[in-house]
Chains A and B, each alone.
Chain A
Amino acid sequence: MILSRWFPAITVMAMVFFAGAPLMIARAPYESTMGLVQKIFYFHVPAWIAMFSAAFVCGISSGIYLFKGKKLADHLAVAAAELTVLFGLIGLVTGPLWARKAWGLWWQWDARLTSALILWMIFVAYQLLRQYGGPGSDKLAAGMALFGMANVPFVYWSVNVWRTIHPTTNVVPTLVPGMSEAFLWCSVAFVLIFILTLSARVKLESHRAAIDRLYLSLDD
């Protein structure tokens, strides 16, 4: 995999960003109405950025696997789908934790929250299909991932199209200087962690598939 050469360098970078994150978050100014509670923003939004990236990687590699048949694309799709579920889970947990303090309720069925939950569930269904679908489930799951990827822009823009309790996409471009640096730092940290775990998981999946192929050829 192309990233194997860069793996040590990216690991070191990720560790640096991870170590520096608490400092950056502590230095960021308090938000006027929510105070300290707002700082979960530096985990919540980067987690969803990583989740959307993972969903796109899964969708694109699924498309390549479906139409070109490249095995590596399938391994990438499997790895990316798992990470979509993982980062989505982080986002879905940090969101309600923040919502409880900021809005007074754990959950609400507005456009953004509903569509985000559905997007997450599509990739959970992908996992179930891969696990229990039997032979041929790789192609079927690839089709599923394409629907999932088509859902991502819908989730992103839902908050601008409908009136929701969730803040609009206008927040991030208009962050004050102290907050925008911390946010950028944490986003880069999450994306680096995503790339690292993706790379490792793809490697694992390639090895697993190779062992499967060897096992089957042994039977012949």
Chain B
Amino acid sequence: MTVSRFIRVAWLIVKKDLTIEARSRELFLTTLFFAVSCVLVFAFGFVSDQNPIGDAAAGILWIAIAFAGTLALGRAFERERYHDVLHALLLAPVDRPAIYIGKLLGVICLLAIVEIIIVPLISLFFQTPILRHPWLLGGLLACGTLGFASVGTLFAAMLVRARSRDVLLPVLLYPITVPVIIAGVRGTVLLLQPEIDVIMVRAWIGMLVFFDVVFITLSLWTFEPLMTD
């Protein structure tokens, strides 16, 4: 299968997911609201002297992304179970990895929009200058979300036909993506300091890129055998 056909297949799947989302907005609204609720709960959970702790903002951002992302992944593939859509996708004469990339891009689009809304909210709730260096923050969030979503898409696709899939997705996903979360949080914490250590932030972004490469390579490699019956 040629590269252009690969891209076309992936794009078709992204378009399908985004079209359904644009019409129903179910996944987007529920995920967004869940992420905001997460931020609120954690903001009330970590208080000092009756005020939210400013330093906790970085951790809460990434936890909200992780939890909302898990929910979105589960729901995105739940949709494929109805009407045997997944079966149809697998029967299509296309490269399986193209299906994976299509689903991955759909999930990333969803999480990106949620993050664009959540980050200013966190800046507001915690009164932290998290948006002072938007490009560095954007880099951290982009690489971190990519790493998280790449493993998440693989596992959510794997678990579609498994028993106890709702609880197993976080059980499987979190141990593997903890390094991504750690790197994301440490990078974001550095961005909240009065004096920003740009070299260290770049180092954490570098580590995120390393994990992204490893995870995407492994996922592309194992998607085909894992999705066969």
B164 CB–A CB distance under 8 Å = yes
Which of B158, B168, B171, B214 contacts A143 (CB under 8 A)? B158
Q: Which of B175, B226, B229 contacts A140 (CB 8 A)?
A: B226
Tell me the chain A residues, 164-212 only, with Cβ under 8 Å from chain B: none
Contact partner of B218 (CB less than 8 A), chosen from A121, A135, A137, A150, is A150
Q: How many residues of B contact A (CB 8 A)?
A: 25
Q: With A133-B164, A140-B159, A143-B154 as given contacts, are A122 and B175 in contact (CB-CB < 8 Å)?
A: yes
Tell yes or no: B176 within 8 A of A by CB: yes
A122-B176 contact in complex given A66-B226, A136-B161, C-beta closer than 8 Å: yes
Out of A67, A125, A136, A142, name the residue touching B171 (CB < 8 Å): A125
Q: Which residues of B contact A128 (CB under 8 A)?
A: 168, 171
Q: Is A134 at the interface (CB under 8 A from chain B)? A: yes
Which residues 135-157 of A sit at the B interface, judged by CB distance below 8 A? 135-137, 139-140, 142-144, 146-147, 150-151, 154
Chain B CB within 8 A of A34 CB: no
In chain B, positions 187-218 with a C-beta closer than 8 Å to chain A are: 214-215, 218
Q: Which residues of A contact B228 (CB under 8 A)?
A: 139
| Residue in B closest to A140 when the chains form the complex, CB atoms | B158
Query: Which residues of the partner chain B approach A121 to less than 8 Å between Cβ atoms?
Result: 175
Contact surface of A with B, Cβ cutoff 8 Å: 66-67, 114-115, 118, 121-122, 124-125, 128-129, 132-137, 139-140, 142-144, 146-147, 150-151, 154
Cα-based distance from A124 to B174 in the complex (angstroms): 12
* With A134-B163, A136-B162 already in contact, 10 other A-B pairs whose C-beta atoms are closer than 8 Å: A118-B176, A125-B172, A129-B168, A132-B164, A134-B162, A135-B163, A139-B225, A143-B222, A144-B172, A150-B214
Q: Output the least CB separation between A133 and chain B (Å).
A: 5
Shortest CB-to-CB span from B154 to chain A, Å, is 7
